[in-house]
Amino acid sequence: MPLDPAELSKDVQHQPITRLGIVGSGTMGAGIAELCAVRGLDVRLMVSRESSLIGAPRRIAESLDRRVAKGKLDNGARDDALARIHVTTDLGELADRHLVVEAAREDGAVKREIFGALDKAVPPETILASTTSSLSIATLARAVSRPERVIGMHFFNPVSTLRLVEIVPALLSDEAICARVEQFATDVLDKTCVRTTDRSGFVVNALLIPYLLAAVRMVEEGVASPEQVDLAMELGCAHPMGPLRLADLIGLDVVAAIAGSLHEEFKQPHYAAPPSLLRLVETGWHGRKSGRGFYVYS
């Protein structure tokens, strides 16, 4: 149950980060929830649809089952993790959280609306983070009354496997809050953190997205097939996954959205999404999650 509001200020400000709120139950939100629950944290997962009250924990359970099958987790740890995740449609249930991570789709208007709602639902000491891939943290922070408590906390998919978290302070972000979140990600979540300035794409996507777009253009221009491009980069550069399979894994809609943000901020042609990528997105072929992208998935 949520704590007494009279006790929230002192509790949230001074206690270790042990109670997490997550807004959004898509790939990233569910992955962050799973990670935090496995690490022993109390997780409240905020969803927007009644159907997700059942669907979100089922997807997390399936992911945990795969980890059990691979020997990375035992059945007891799986059951304990699921018991630590409470799914809700009531934003008010996040009022006793130490940290709330927004993990909605990569849409600035949607994210700003969420931050505005969180500003009214949680006490001033609650840290608010976004796992946006490319959007300005300063712009998101404008939706709240205390922008100093807003930072970027960019996880990577799959959250349980990839070790990096980009910590992104905006100009008004409080340094003590950034340090607290960085220590939490390092010591509790066992992640490696990289600090980056608040610019579109941060470090990883500012470098990765032009590479993926170049591979798309190469296929679009008939230089090579997706299979040939991927094989060339896997065998020629020792990449564990070729760029087009990686784009399918990330989600072609996400790649296009990040490219759009990068192009809007920097106006450089290598950030512009190629027409063939946009056609795939418009068709609903978003990659692995939709069953089809550059490749077909069963």
What distance in Å separates the CA atoms of residue 277 and residue 286, rounded to the nearest whole number? Answer: 9
- Are residues 154 and 32 part of one domain? yes
Q: For residue 177, what are the CA distances in angstroms to 18, 78, 253, 275?
A: 15, 31, 32, 41
**CA torsion through residues 52, 162, 129, 80, sign:** positive
Choose, from 166, 261, 263, 286, the residue flagged as catalytic.
166
Is 157 one of the annotated active-site residues of the chain? no
- Are residues 158 and 55 part of one domain? yes
Choose, from 98, 130, 154, 182, the residue flagged as catalytic.
154
Choose, from 133, 136, 173, 200, the residue flagged as catalytic.
133
pLDDT at 14: 57
Tokens representing 210 are 């032009």
Q: What is the mean pLDDT of residues 78-89?
A: 96
pLDDT at 259: 96
If residue 61 lies in a helix (H) or strand (E), which one and from where to where? helix 52-69
Q: Which CATH number belongs to the domain containing residue 94 in this structure?
A: 3.40.50.720
pLDDT at 135: 93
Q: What is the mean pLDDT of residues 264-285?
A: 97
In 157-283 the beta strands, taken as DSSP E runs, fall at: 164-169, 192-195
Tell me how many domains the chain contains.
2
What is the tens place of the pLDDT at every residue in 134-144? 999 999 999 99
pLDDT at 4: 45
Q: 253: domain range?
A: 205-290
Is the pLDDT at 90 greater than 80, yes or no?
yes
What is the tens place of the pLDDT at every residue in 20-56? 999 999 999 999 999 999 999 999 999 988 888 999 9
- Are residues 129 and 14 part of one domain? yes
User: Are 144 and 150 within 8 A, CB to CB?
Assistant: yes
Model-level pTM?
A: 0.88
Q: What is the mean pLDDT of residues 118-135?
A: 95
Choose, from 205, 261, 263, 286, the residue flagged as catalytic.
205
Is 154 one of the annotated active-site residues of the chain? yes
